[in-house]
Structure 1
Amino acid sequence: MKVLIVEDESRIAKRIERMTQDIFGNDLQSLTLANTLQQALKFLENNPLDLVLLDLNLNGENGFDLLKTAVSGSFDTIVISAYKDQAITAFEYGVLDFVPKPFNQARLEQAFKRSTYKESTESIKTKFLAIRKRQRIQLLPIEDLLYIKGAGVYAELFLTDGSKELHDKSLEKLEHLLSHSFERIHKSYLVRMSAIKEIRVESGSKYIAKLDNGEQLPIGRTKYKDLKAKWL
């Protein structure tokens, strides 16, 4: 794991650092501290990461300015903040968890488990995906998203208006964030359940999901029975 801690209070930053080291142990490859937005943004531009731990108030600067950039990246973001009233907004932006201050190691470990896919995130209701477009960050409403196709370490987002966008997160990471309304129907596809109009079997034992817009997507053999049960 490669982790970045963005926290302006030295005492809290060191506490998070110590707990992170205790929780990940030998799985922790690198751990970096940043105490300003500018320092964090510069580090994000030049270094691959697995996880960002972000405070929302950094010497008076708004952590949401960094959050838009962070949640568009290939890594997961966990907010650690005393501003509990901002939790819903943070989740809507696509953070993996919101850990309120004060916190203990058990609560932080629970958040880390979400990052390593050991704990369900069914209760998280992401409302936006942040995407990089023309050198800027744009918030894409989840309601405009029809299905997602895996493209290696990236993912292609297919929208209800027929357009397509590229996201820096992998299909697996997006599946984790969107589990409340999307279903993995194939190793390469994640689909909004409400958009499926018909599920059928074709010759050669090919399983197909027909969407409301007429598009047809493959269903994996191992996914068919479970998908049909959920769809019905």
Structure 2
Amino acid sequence: MNILIIEDESRIAKRILRMTREFFLNTLNQITHLESLQNGIEHIKNNEIDLVLLDLNLNGDNGFDLLKNTVSESFHTIIISAYKEQALMAFEYGVLDFVPKPFNKERLNLAFNRVLNKESLTAKNIKFLAIKKRGEVQLINIENVIYIKGAGMYTELVLSNGNTYLHDKSLEKLEQLLPEEFTRIHKSYLVKITIIKSIKINSGSKYFAELSNEELLPIGRTRYKDLKAKMFN
């Protein structure tokens, strides 16, 4: 993994570096520590990143300025900050976790386990998905997304008005962030369960979800029972 730490307090940065190295011992490729927001933004532009650990107050600069411009990227972001009142806003912008200062090893490891998808999020408050359009970041309200289709390392967001947008995060990473109303019906589809009108069974035991817009999406055989239980319980 390639990990970037953006933290301006030297003492705290050293603790984060030590704990991060200990946790990702066998999977760590490169770990970089930077103290300023601008240097962090430049590093993200020019390097491949898997995880960003971000403080929100960096010598007076606001970490949200970075977050708003990078939340559409393929990597996960974990906020480490004393500003607990900003946790909700951070989750709304799609961070994986918010670790309040002061923190201990167990709390940071919990966040790291979520990176590896070993621990689920207790609260998924994401309200926006960020996409890049003509070089600019645009926030899409999660309420307008009806389903998400996997497209290799990327995903395609499909909106209620028929518009589609590419997103840099994989389907697996978005599944970690999205609220429970989105359910995995197929290896390539995450769907808002409230827009599924019915389940259709075609010859050969092929299952399809009929959406409220009459569109049909495939249902994986291993996911059929789970989806049926969610819809009718």
Give the TM-score band, short-chain normalised: over 0.9
Offset, 1:51 = 0.5
Distance (whole Å) between structure 1 residues aligned to residue 22 and residue 187 of structure 2: 34
Please tell me whether the aligned partners of residues 122 and 179 of structure 1 are also in contact (alpha carbons under 8 angstroms).
Answer: no
Distance (whole Å) between structure 2 residues aligned to residue 57 and residue 216 of structure 1: 47
Structure 1 window deviating more from structure 2 (120-129 vs 109-118): it is: 120-129
Distance (whole Å) between structure 2 residues aligned to residue 136 and residue 23 of structure 1: 35
Aligned to 1:204: 204
Distance (whole Å) between structure 1 residues aligned to residue 6 and residue 138 of structure 2: 22
Aligned to 1:100: 100
Alignment deviations for residues 121-176 of structure 1 (CA, whole Å, 9 cap, x no partner): 25222111111111111111100101011000000000011000000001111111
Distance (whole Å) between structure 2 residues aligned to residue 111 and residue 182 of structure 1: 22
Aligned to 1:227: 227
Secondary structure of 2:121's counterpart equals coil
Aligned pairs (5 A) from 1:25-40 = 25-40=25-40
After superposition, the CA RMSD in angstroms is: 0.9
Structure 1 window deviating more from structure 2 (120-129 vs 9-18): it is: 120-129
Alignment deviations for residues 69-108 of structure 1 (CA, whole Å, 9 cap, x no partner): 2221101000000000000000010000000000011100
In structure 1, stretches of 5+ residues that fail to align are: none
Distance (whole Å) between structure 2 residues aligned to residue 201 and residue 125 of structure 1: 34
Aligned to 2:20: 20
Distance (whole Å) between structure 2 residues aligned to residue 26 and residue 206 of structure 1: 42
Count of residue pairs the alignment pairs up: 232
Secondary structure of 1:44's counterpart equals helix
Aligned to 1:47: 47
In structure 2, stretches of 5+ residues that fail to align are: none
Distance (whole Å) between structure 1 residues aligned to residue 9 and residue 71 of structure 2: 23
Aligned to 1:7: 7
Please tell me whether the aligned partners of residues 6 and 54 of structure 1 are also in contact (alpha carbons under 8 angstroms).
Answer: yes
Offset, 1:29 = 1.1
Please tell me whether the aligned partners of residues 93 and 127 of structure 2 are also in contact (alpha carbons under 8 angstroms).
Answer: yes
Shift >2 Å, 4+ stretches? none
The TM-score with structure 1 as length reference comes to: 0.98
Query: What amino acid sits opposite 1:38 in the alignment?
Result: Q
Cα 1:39–1:108 change in 2 (3 A) is: same
